[in-house]
Structure 1
């Protein structure tokens, strides 16, 4: 009981630290100075109420009167102001208005606020124009027109199409199956773009969108007579969208005067994140392939709106050079343009780091904007751009021992260095030691199709071991597999380090940040190349650091990380002493018919996918052969399984399959079941339960 109390205290300390999620910059010119106001919104977990709170905080920056890009004074921040019940919010380009959509009593309410208080309020639900408003990042938006008289947002199509149906409450098709967009998007089926005219209070569902696409990420074209949006093709059926940048989609332009809808991007591509330049001349968006890796290195495309010509601003990086830009792997923030419309600023993975970059549209040169080399004593492993407005960048910086820190800087002129100012240090930092390991596969483990690839890992250690003996090592494996563990703040890693464990976070070949070749190298080699990479990283860490205890090793991970954790137990049964796996893939053959991303099940095993695919004995045999279940008889280490009952990505029956095998053989196994959680096991109470039980399990068996 005392040990559980200690673990709870540590977890409350590390998980309760706030994280900035968005920011906005406004500007005011005074006679002798220029004033910038930075508003940041934060998210913070509350274990007492098992919920996440959002709050905002403001800083006032006074710029030099002779050089408005030189910050003279940063005034102390104001008090944190709770932001309750907001689904979406957006500040207008003029008139200093704020639009908020919030849910109250089952109704979606649109509020317009100004300096005098609440200016307008509309009950969107009561208008019966559409269903629930989308607040997710995949489809959702809340976008002001240039004149600040209209707003765009996305909502579910109204299922009751006729007045009679709405009045009677009877639907003749109420039992017909309705497809959705998969894990974490289970209430998203048929999105529509909605426009509200704030002068009349009228809401209109935009017509002209092709019937075979689901629209989202809408924004106004210059002049506000047309709308740009991304459309995802949903025929012949929908596939899961969450964490998948490989779904067939296109950029469209809808003319509001005549309803004409024009496709602006190529066929059989995946696109996202349209962003209009401040001068209205250029639209950029991300582009990738369809099917194949579910996450990938993306190209950045630009459309000249005057000529209609599309060109590539940033191409896919197949094999990055040492120390150079390694490609673009994540969504663009809502505001990413320089004021002169010549530069685009973004964050992206670079090997085991996350860095901040700018690409110049003229030269297409990519420049790093972080200052890690300027002050080696204050190195941040992760730079995440929240916004750039009026050339003022607002970023969240963190490291494995430093929770998110809010920093600002103006975009420098050509040849000048960036001058960063810290707005808010975290309430506490930790004296963990962390280091980057570069790992090279042995010759026999080299991939002949993509020869010469290496990978890496982040090692985090407690600065003061609990005792004089060697430190137990927890091998932490990310899911995806096409994602990354950058050297950033991770509350699970921090909690384990504070409790006396060393943690090795492995970025095996196939992780993002190492180029497209690395991602493609894993296709068809799951369960082999990635398993050997993790084992190689562990051996490398043990060889380079004699303080790590080779006799007290455990492995943890979720999804594909759980898949690899269970593989390691079966393939190296005498090496690891414990395992904790969250929603692991155990048997790819039995998962095939239950996953929302059936295409990835074929691709990962090395097979081409098409919508009309029917499993064959060859395919099922290959999937089974690459699965941890084939090594289950060799597992000796105790296994803790944590499963989400509503997981649409990896059915909880996967974990149950391993649980029953281990139980039948008398192997130590424990299963935690979370009936209301999904694949990410993201509820606050679930995350606490998983951490507590994982640590108790590790302490018991190490």
Structure 2
């Protein structure tokens, strides 16, 4: 009878977790937005969203249009229109034509079509399989590989690695919708991979990014340090506009065609680092000018605000004021994402006001109207719009108006989050890091378990963003601790550089410090119920922490972990990550015997920074999830940790999914979060059979019909 009682509670808890997941997943994520028309009496915005469809195990994409009056007050919004089959879309500058790249499954095979629409109907459709000019169009979000030629099916070809499998060589294709031709431009040197191409203002030349190709490709996903150039293709002439030892991205022209801007960074060890904002006066000079330079620590900008540099992955396709004098950009800053106005002439940077402390990211700019997405840990993404007035003394004051309101998070009135900055009293060059606590506002003393979450990368950051996993754990009664240890982005280039050669040491210390500070600051946390949860480098830190500080943690959940750096070095798509973060030199081949650099010394140093060294000290029950298609931290890493823990009689469970590094397929995502929740609830209980912890879920969702919905 006791077993049946526990089973009944388990099934009931499982049902409640699933209902929570379904309720939270009804909040769509905002992918993009575009101002499609501006008139004297108002403005029209078209937005693109993605939402999980749990019954179909897919993420559905849909568009929704919003009409606002001249004061940016909402007038009408359209019903959502499903656009799941659309891979890409682009509109002409006058918004009269729209091109859509669509993927369709015919006879079990994926085929791509380009459709040309005007404001009233479909004008033309091009079946790309009917043209021999190229394979599939690269969208940088697909995992479909190119169809090999007969006889070459088993020949290995280098590609760009994790989440860019099958991307070997790109060509630029010109689609002429008058002559109905798709013609490749053959003038790009074969040792470059063109991407992010745009027309020059006169429509006669092309500007883009050219990635340098070497015999061995290194992974590009999440890595902004790959050698690349801004190039100009003028007729048959290919010319690089930027110098060597740089990594460039996202070139954009101003509305008046007089300015070209882009982001660039120095090529160095960190796979993501602070970037410069660069500029060329088009048709006047070809010497690049630095608008905002690399920020090593922080600088003071307009209104005495602190600014820690740009870390953006992209620049919005339209990011200019109407007079082409101001730029609008967003970037991580400490624990938030903030948006800025940059004066191109004076180079003054001004933070855009956002009084509620949420994150704010620019999506589109047209005729001084700016569309943003706004979000926070407890607020799913919403669409907001503001009007830019360059005559104001404070150009960062835009008066933001909400176009959408997210669905309420169950029990959200009981949730809070708080950022904490910490500075060590040491002689080290970098002393500061930060963390964010997220959980219930009020709870009895020592009543709540704590979920400690270090981020991946390691050069990444938690930036006050909504995450369904963490929201579920918070609603189940956990406190969440998100840690931006030293080496995180958004805190200056020196902070990032500091972690090189110190992984498994400095980042571990910062995590332990954050836990101790949180235990002291938040009396509702039970110090005997501290758990770990992490992805990639975050999972690497979970392994380190559970070994180096075995008595501090009750249970562990990790996905796509890094366990043994020397063995990862031989398999990963970014082998240079391994020596870069352990303070070693990256070698493609064995050095000669006479070299001062000894390969064995490099391997030993990588091993010294690896969690596997501490496996014999782990006590906490550990759940591990890996992906069979993971090229970044291969599945063998997680299997190694699992087998070592089993050999040491540590309770362990391994999940193997047919997925890549992020384990983000819908069916994988929901399976993982449910199993992770059940795992943590089980092992924070006072005894393995004690259902006390499961009551946490009962208390949070006690009025199920009102809270979750039927």
TM-score (norm 2): 0.89
Structure 1 residues 17-96: aligned runs within 5 Å:
17-29=27-39, 33-63=40-70, 70-71=71-72, 73-94=73-94, 96=96
* Corresponding residue for residue 195 of structure 1: 174
- Check whether the contact 1:434–1:460 (CA below 8 A) recurs between aligned residues: yes
SS in 1 for 2:681: helix
- Which runs of 5 or more structure 1 residues have no equivalent in the other structure? 64-69, 141-154, 161-169, 373-378
Number of aligned residues: 652
Runs of 4+ deviating beyond 4 Å? 155-160, 610-615
Change in Cα spacing, 1:613 to 1:313, as seen in structure 2 (3 Å) is farther
After superposition, what is the alpha-carbon deviation per residue over 1:536-577, rounded to whole angstroms, capped at 9, x for unaligned?
011111111111111110010000000001100001011100
Structure 1 residues 287-436: aligned runs within 5 Å:
287-306=264-283, 307-321=285-299, 323-330=305-312, 331-372=314-355, 379-413=356-390, 414-416=392-394, 417-429=397-409, 430-431=412-413, 432-436=415-419
Change in Cα spacing, 1:303 to 1:137, as seen in structure 2 (3 Å) is farther
Structure 1 residues 368-517: aligned runs within 5 Å:
368-372=351-355, 379-413=356-390, 414-416=392-394, 417-429=397-409, 430-431=412-413, 432-443=415-426, 448=428, 451-463=429-441, 465=443, 470-517=447-494
Segment drifting more, 425-434 vs 235-244: 425-434
C-alpha distance in 2 between matches for 1:157 and 1:579:
39
Shift of 1:380: 3.9
Segment drifting more, 307-316 vs 576-585: 307-316
- Check whether the contact 1:131–1:156 (CA below 8 A) recurs between aligned residues: no
Shift of 1:157: 8.6
SS in 2 for 1:370: coil
Structure 1 residues 4-19: aligned runs within 5 Å:
4-19=14-29
1:681 equivalenced with 2:663 (yes/no): yes
Shift of 1:84: 2.6
SS in 1 for 2:318: coil
C-alpha distance in 2 between matches for 1:267 and 1:111:
39
C-alpha distance in 1 between matches for 2:76 and 2:139:
32
1:572 to 527, 545, 549: 549
- Check whether the contact 1:473–1:548 (CA below 8 A) recurs between aligned residues: yes
Shift of 1:656: 0.6
Structure 1 residues 135-284: aligned runs within 5 Å:
135-136=139-140, 170-171=150-151, 173-256=152-235, 259-284=236-261
C-alpha distance in 2 between matches for 1:690 and 1:16:
18
C-alpha distance in 2 between matches for 1:314 and 1:554:
41
- Check whether the contact 2:445–2:525 (CA below 8 A) recurs between aligned residues: no
- Which runs of 5 or more structure 2 residues have no equivalent in the other structure? 1-10, 592-597, 685-710
* Corresponding residue for residue 691 of structure 1: 673
Change in Cα spacing, 1:213 to 1:693, as seen in structure 2 (3 Å) is same
* Corresponding residue for residue 144 of structure 1: none
SS in 1 for 2:403: strand
- Check whether the contact 1:291–1:609 (CA below 8 A) recurs between aligned residues: no
SS in 2 for 1:191: coil
Shift of 1:524: 0.4
SS in 1 for 2:267: coil
After superposition, what is the alpha-carbon deviation per residue over 1:157-201, rounded to whole angstroms, capped at 9, x for unaligned?
9965xxxxxxxxx44x44321111000000211111111001011
C-alpha distance in 1 between matches for 2:678 and 2:154:
46
SS in 1 for 2:13: helix
* Corresponding residue for residue 121 of structure 1: 125
Shift of 1:620: 0.6
- Check whether the contact 1:27–1:34 (CA below 8 A) recurs between aligned residues: no
* Corresponding residue for residue 165 of structure 1: none
C-alpha distance in 2 between matches for 1:468 and 1:137:
46
After superposition, what is the alpha-carbon deviation per residue over 1:602-644, rounded to whole angstroms, capped at 9, x for unaligned?
1011123254466711011011110110000000000000001
Shift of 1:137: 6.4
C-alpha distance in 2 between matches for 1:244 and 1:588:
18
Shift of 1:476: 1.1
Change in Cα spacing, 1:562 to 1:27, as seen in structure 2 (3 Å) is same
C-alpha distance in 2 between matches for 1:367 and 1:241:
31
C-alpha distance in 2 between matches for 1:411 and 1:28:
14
Shift of 1:528: 0.1
SS in 1 for 2:324: coil
1:112 to 93, 116, 141: 116
Change in Cα spacing, 1:119 to 1:548, as seen in structure 2 (3 Å) is same
- Check whether the contact 1:107–1:126 (CA below 8 A) recurs between aligned residues: no
Shift of 1:228: 0.6
Structure 1 residues 486-565: aligned runs within 5 Å:
486-565=463-542
- Check whether the contact 2:271–2:459 (CA below 8 A) recurs between aligned residues: yes
RMSD over aligned Cα atoms: 1.8
SS in 1 for 2:514: helix
SS in 2 for 1:698: helix
SS in 1 for 2:576: helix
C-alpha distance in 1 between matches for 2:16 and 2:242:
55
C-alpha distance in 2 between matches for 1:550 and 1:84:
46
C-alpha distance in 2 between matches for 1:475 and 1:667:
20
C-alpha distance in 1 between matches for 2:329 and 2:437:
26
